[in-house]
Structure 1
Amino acid sequence: MVTSLATRATVPAPTAKSLGAARARNGVSISETMTDFRALFAAADQRLDIDALQSLAEGWAEGAESAPPISCTDVYTGLATRSYFQRRVHELSVFGPECSRPHALAIISLPTPGESRSHCWTLLARLGEVVEHHLKGTGASAMFQDTALHVLFAVTERNLARLMECQRAIECLNEGTPGQSRIKFYPLPAAPSGAVPQDSVPEAS
């Protein structure tokens, strides 16, 4: 796209169509896709190429039809899916939070189950209920993966207290022993220049 704008007055239809399809596959809405497309021409100080805009929309429509459905909720825990959680981390890192408060990523690592490498589905459902109960009203997003709870939250004393309560409640599930989990914090960068790639959510250690 950039090369086309820099070397010619119009954008080839296949180029615009390919961009639209890629945006659809990554879950970007048609409205946001078209807004970004217009912004690109404005930044290049060029008039909008209407034909290229139509090709962009056609590519988006075709990409949306072939793309797998994007779910925001994990079927086992009722918490966020990995892809949705990564997107939230990416958005906050690039665009900043909606409020003025800094955000952080907390990872609560739990002991590995003794009988199997993963938690049974009934325990996962109970874990999801506990997390939603303790974090309700905080605006936090939570994801459970690889025996660890990942929480993206605005850093306030109230939210930190609720997070610690949530940690203790999770430890007590399935006759667990308090004090067996570990928690680590990763502050999110405040400036857009410190963006976190979508595939680099820290793993529990």
Structure 2
Amino acid sequence: MGRFVARRLLQMIPVFIGTTLLIFLMVYSLPGDPVKAMFGSKAADPATVAKLRHDYGLDQPLIQQYWDYISGLLQGDFGQSFTGRPVSDLLSDAFPVTIRLALFAFVIELVFGIGLGVLTGLRRGKILDQAVLIFTLIVVSIPVFVLGNMAQFVIGVKWKLVAPTVRDSEDLTQLILPAVVLALLSLAYVTRLTRTTVAENLRADYIRT
């Protein structure tokens, strides 16, 4: 067991290096100059641009920039955004909202996914079973970002059943719509998996006996 855990931990090293290197190179290859983008449509003073590039280390060779990036990550320093605010502060602000949204979506997925899976498994071949299968097929086929925009416009803006945007993350009623959209894809898989499992076990010998 110890050797297995150690081997898995060692395998994380090349995965971490490969992932961070790939992300770093993808961001680096994006067109445009991030320093000049900070000035927007205003003309940038060359001396100011050069100073900012030096402050952010953008005038260093690519390998040196990547090493500084990795060193900062390992020390818990995620750098600064172009607004001058530490990235760790931005993450700490978003983390509680992400946790609440993820937990809310998990509860929806757990309750409705398993519930619908059990019902359709017990009524396999019936109208309810066919309706749920069609529903889950549609949900799996639609990308989440398309489903989210459709739900926001139809349910939030047109029908005004729930808040279309989240203004107060501590208000759970405002998290209903994004949580449902976030949970739908996994809910579809859980429903189909639970349905198949229940239907197979109903045909088992110990159940018939």
TM range (shorter): under 0.3
More helix, by proportion: 2
With normalisation by structure 1, the TM-score equals 0.25
More strand, by proportion: 1
